[in-house]
Amino acid sequence: MEYNPKAIEKKWQEHWKNKRTHEPLSDTSLPKKYILSMFPYPSGRIHMGHVRNYCIGDAIARHFRKQNFNVLHPIGWDAFGMPAENAAIKHKSHPKKWTYDNISNMREELDSLGLSFSNEREFATCDPIYSKWEQKFFIDMWNRGLIYRKKGFLNWCPNDQTVLANEQVIEGRCWRCDTEVVQKEMFQYYVKITDYAEELLGSLDTLEGRWPSQVLTMQRNWIGRSEGLSFAFKLTSSSKERIGGSFDSFEVFTTRPDTLYGVTYCALAPEHPLVRELMRQGKLPQESLEALAKMQNIPAKERAMIPKEGVALGLEAIHPLTGEAIPLWAANFVLTDYGSGAVMAVPAHDERDFEFAKKYQLPQKQVILSGAAPSLGEAAYTESGTLINSGIFDGLESESAKEKIIRYFEEHSLGRGVINYRLRDWGISRQRYWGTPIPLIHCPSCGIVPEDFSNLPITLPEDVIIDGEGNPLEKHPAWKECRCPKCGGKATRETDTMDTFVESSWYFLRYTTPKEEWETHALNEAMQRYWMGVDEYIGGIEHAILHLLYARFFTKVLRDLGYTETNEPFTHLLTQGMVLKDGAKMSKSKGNVVDPDELIERFGADTARLFVLFAAPPTRELEWNDSAVEGAYRFIKRLCDKAQFVQKVSLLPQIETATLSKTEKLARKKVHETLLKAQEVYSRKNAYAFNTLIASCMEALNALSDQENPAIFTEGYFILLSVLEPIIPHVAWELSQEYFGLANFKPLTPDTQALKSDSLTIAITVNGKKRGEIEMAPGSSNEAMLEAAKNEVSKWLEGMSIIKEIVVPDKLVNLVVKP
Ligand code: ANZ
Ligand code: ZN
């Protein structure tokens, strides 16, 4: 067959679409596979990372379809978000038009790769029907107290009078006008993900061996469970007086109660209420006030990256065990929203405390002893050891000291043992236009009231001015002004929209519901039960924390709200490696991108697919390589050339194994090994090492080409087409139809007979004359060879006695006999 990718690729893409080959079936008695590559953001064009992501998922989906599984392999668009709005600001386009135009471009690009997506489950998260159910979920969660409103800090550009997303803050300045960004406290909506911290952590254990362990670790660290002691420091009476009676104590949290006697100061977050009160009263030197204001204006995320800084507060607290007076500092390394926003500092045994103490010349006190400890003042000794200088707890080991000190605090009502999580509640409101509107209404008499379900979805107005100053929804009175669903009085809509992570937290559940029901159901109950969990979820490691955590969380919330029975959405996770060129990640800014369209235009989709799956195993980095692309193309061409040796038959030839020659056996063995390898690869034994499977196909094609039995060739060729179908589907379907009259693929199983390891032919001579042959496995022992040989030539041995046995391993047995 002449290889003409342009002609055959279009043809098969249309065939699949018209025949609905890739649509999931509603028969829930069939075995199922739900294969999902993370949906794309419609940025405008697909890149090689997308190609890789979707080719991996497609090969898996096609394989299982061929094995008679009912396969759900959907695609959609993560369509809300800032870039659409930024494009609107820069180019005066409308976010909606920009987004849907990009979707149709990118959908065409994906189609040109021959990806076997369901066409009938596709949606964009900015479709109003998707917003409807998301708003319903929001209201359900609000009614359950799972969403609350609280003041939080946001990046604020004083010039543009607008809230900035983190990505819009460049080195502390506004991306548009370069004004210095400040932190402004505003109302925000939060989801209580912390209510699920324990379950989110605990059920990671069920994913062990199914998710990459690195991702499990990242999730565990992000949730960050720690056990420790929480207790209050009382202010000294003079300090109480100084602050005017509005405070008499503050809480701290420590994971090292065993170091309690080593406390030499306390450090408070710059936002701590006590610090704020001092600032409000102006009871600090001017330079301290200024330094504090400066510290507060640095976004929390950046503080970890700058040198430690602090301000002495001129207050003292009483050590709960020793009664000593402990000085208070405000410090930029103390997080406002962890523990209680204040720490007992132990410079001798904590690195941060040590650094800070060194800078401000604060004393240190060693309380943990160990042979390995550095001498005091050189560095902090942060491991455990034996307690010293610790009163009644002297001599205890750290672990038991922790327990005993916590018990002591509890018995004396000084504090209590607590479990803290690093995980914070999820701030889900954004002061932007292009997002799902938050379905709440502010009523002057009723307060905050959820919109009536019958009024959902609340859609975005289209006639807005998007100029980068403020939230366009704020400036649209016709949209904003409404009636209160409770009292019917004049009210205003919430103008905040939702974080786009909300949309990507349930799209995989939505796909399980057939399109006909999207209007009437959030999720079809029977269908989510059938399809969930996702059998293979494929995407970039950059989503290892936030997206996966939010998606797991949302699934659990929807379960508790009665929408799904799923506990964990993603049964298996495959994190694909990056695509590199010249050793660097392909990116616009580096100017090293390869445009997938050009690749497809030049070589065809099958070459692109073969290249990305052959160049590296899915989880590894993939280095771009022009000659490997050409190699992939040549292999497909060779496959087409070889088709001429196929016997056109309606039934596959029956192979009589016993009579085959050595090369025939070898060719069959290679072919059936490839089939076996395919089974292993898709059972995720080696994280889908398509590269080794393809290599095996190449070897098998070579072996087939080396021998002349047309039946063997035909059988082998047919099997190779089947193994290659998930990888190079267009050409596989074309060849299958052309040479076998089949426009489909069926499951095949390797012939165990063909797989048997090659036996060697051993010649047997008696007194130097060849008297027979035996078949032996390579490397058989001398004893085994002799035994088999004697059996074989027994009639030459009758009445003789053997005087010498010579064995040449894997080759020959010679017996010297005498009457
Ligand atoms: C005294 C101490 C002595 C501490 C020592 C550690 C070692 P994890 O494990 O992450 O939970 N900490 C508490 N609240 C903090 C906050 N808001 N900002 C910054 N640091 C805070 O960390 C708990 C430890 O981090 C706590 O234990 C506390 O320092 C500090 F040798 O208390 B530790
Ligand atoms: Zn009202």
- Residue-wise pLDDT for 244-262, tens only, equals 878 999 999 999 999 999 9
Distance CA 22, CA 629 (A): 28
Going by alpha carbons, the residue nearest to atom 19 of ligand 1 is: 334
Please give the share of the chain, as a percent, with pLDDT higher than 90.
79
Largest CA distance in the chain: 122
Q: Residue 339 CA: which ligand 1 atom is closest? A: 14
Nearest to 545 by CA among 686, 422, 420, 685: 422
Structure tokens at 230: 């929480």
Going by alpha carbons, the residue nearest to atom 2 of ligand 1 is: 256
pLDDT at 602: 96
35 strand-pairing partners: 536
Segment 422-439 mean pLDDT = 94
Q: Strand 622-623 and strand 579-581: pairing? A: parallel
Ligand 2 centroid distance, CA of 439 (Å): 15
- Predicted confidence (pLDDT) per residue in 568-599, tens digit: 999 999 999 999 999 899 888 888 889 999 99
Q: How many CB atoms lie within 10 A of CB 111?
A: 18
Residue 658 has pLDDT above 80, yes or no: no
Show Cβ contacts of residue 679 under 8 Å, excluding neighbours closer than 6 positions.
750
Q: Please compute Rg for the chain using Cα positions.
A: 35
pLDDT at 405: 98
Please give the share of the chain, as a percent, with pLDDT higher than 70.
99
Show Cβ contacts of residue 209 under 8 Å, excluding neighbours closer than 6 positions.
none
Residue 372 has pLDDT above 70, yes or no: no
Q: Which residue in this structure is represented by tokens 């100061």?
A: 265
Residue 662 has pLDDT above 90, yes or no: no
Q: Which residue in this structure is represented by tokens 């029977």?
A: 526
Cis preceding linkage at 533, omega within 30: yes
Query: Mean pLDDT for the chain?
Result: 94
Which of 253, 258, 309 for mutating ligand 1's site (highest number of atoms within 8 Å of CB)?
253
- Predicted confidence (pLDDT) per residue in 20-79, tens digit: 999 999 999 999 999 999 999 999 999 999 999 999 999 999 999 999 999 999 999 999
| Identity at 265, one-letter amino acid code | Y
Which of 231, 255, 389 for mutating ligand 1's site (highest number of atoms within 8 Å of CB)?
255
pLDDT at 304: 85
Q: Ligand nearest 482 Cα, by number?
A: 2
- Predicted confidence (pLDDT) per residue in 293-342, tens digit: 999 988 887 888 899 999 999 999 999 999 999 999 999 999 998 899 99
Poorest-pLDDT segment among 246-255, 613-622, 662-671:
662-671
User: Are 440 and 149 in contact, with CB atoms under 8 Å apart?
Assistant: no
pLDDT at 244: 86
Show Cβ contacts of residue 188 under 8 Å, excluding neighbours closer than 6 positions.
149, 150, 151, 152, 154, 427, 429, 496
Residue 374 has pLDDT above 80, yes or no: no
Ligand 2 centroid distance, CA of 256 (Å): 51
Q: Residue 226 CA: which ligand 1 atom is closest? A: 11
Ligand 1 centroid distance, CA of 420 (Å): 11
Segment 389-400 mean pLDDT = 96
Distance CA 523, CA 517 (A): 8
Going by alpha carbons, the residue nearest to atom 33 of ligand 1 is: 254
Task: Quickly state the pLDDT bin for 152 (edges 50, 70, 90).
Answer: confident
Q: How many CB atoms lie within 10 A of CB 806?
A: 12
List strand residue ranges (DSSP E) for 310-354, in order: 310-318, 325-331, 342-345
Q: Ligand nearest 259 Cα, by number?
A: 1
Ligand 2 centroid distance, CA of 558 (Å): 29
pLDDT at 757: 67
- Predicted confidence (pLDDT) per residue in 183-232, tens digit: 899 999 999 999 999 999 999 999 999 999 999 999 999 999 999 999 99
Q: Strand 429-430 and strand 368-369: pairing? A: unpaired
Structure tokens at 202: 């605990």
pLDDT at 655: 80
Residue 650 has pLDDT above 70, yes or no: no
Ligand 2 centroid distance, CA of 460 (Å): 22
Residue 373 has pLDDT above 70, yes or no: no
Distance CA 751, CA 21 (A): 29
Nearest to 113 by CA among 40, 64, 25: 40
Q: Which residue in this structure is represented by tokens 């290889």?
A: 3
User: Are 306 and 350 in contact, with CB atoms under 8 Å apart?
Assistant: no
pLDDT at 651: 66
Ligand 2 centroid distance, CA of 490 (Å): 8
Q: Residue 341 CA: which ligand 1 atom is closest? A: 17
Ligand 1 centroid distance, CA of 255 (Å): 6
Task: Quickly state the pLDDT bin for 131 (edges 50, 70, 90).
Answer: very high
418 strand-pairing partners: 228
Q: Which residue in this structure is represented by tokens 């989510």?
A: 528
Going by alpha carbons, the residue nearest to atom 27 of ligand 1 is: 254
Poorest-pLDDT segment among 126-130, 237-241, 682-686:
682-686
Q: Ligand nearest 445 Cα, by number?
A: 2
Q: Ligand nearest 488 Cα, by number?
A: 2
Distance CA 570, CA 72 (A): 14
Structure tokens at 724: 């290659």
Ligand 1 centroid distance, CA of 220 (Å): 18
* Residue 123: C-alpha distances to residues 100, 111, 127, 498 (Å): 11, 15, 7, 18
Angle between helices 596-603 and 48-66 (to 10 degrees): 60
Distance CA 610, CA 55 (A): 9
Distance CA 647, CA 74 (A): 38
pLDDT at 707: 82
pLDDT at 758: 65
The torsion angles phi and psi of 710, rounded to 5 degrees, stand at -65, -30
Going by alpha carbons, the residue nearest to atom 14 of ligand 1 is: 339
Task: Quickly state the pLDDT bin for 375 (edges 50, 70, 90).
Answer: low
Q: Residues lining ligand 1, judged by CB closer than 6 Å? A: 224, 226, 253-256, 259, 334-335, 338-339, 341, 343-344, 346, 349-350, 382, 420
pLDDT at 163: 85
Task: Quickly state the pLDDT bin for 493 (edges 50, 70, 90).
Answer: very high
Show Cβ contacts of residue 616 under 8 Å, excluding neighbours closer than 6 positions.
577, 622, 623, 691
Q: Is 0.85 surpassed by the pTM of this model?
A: yes
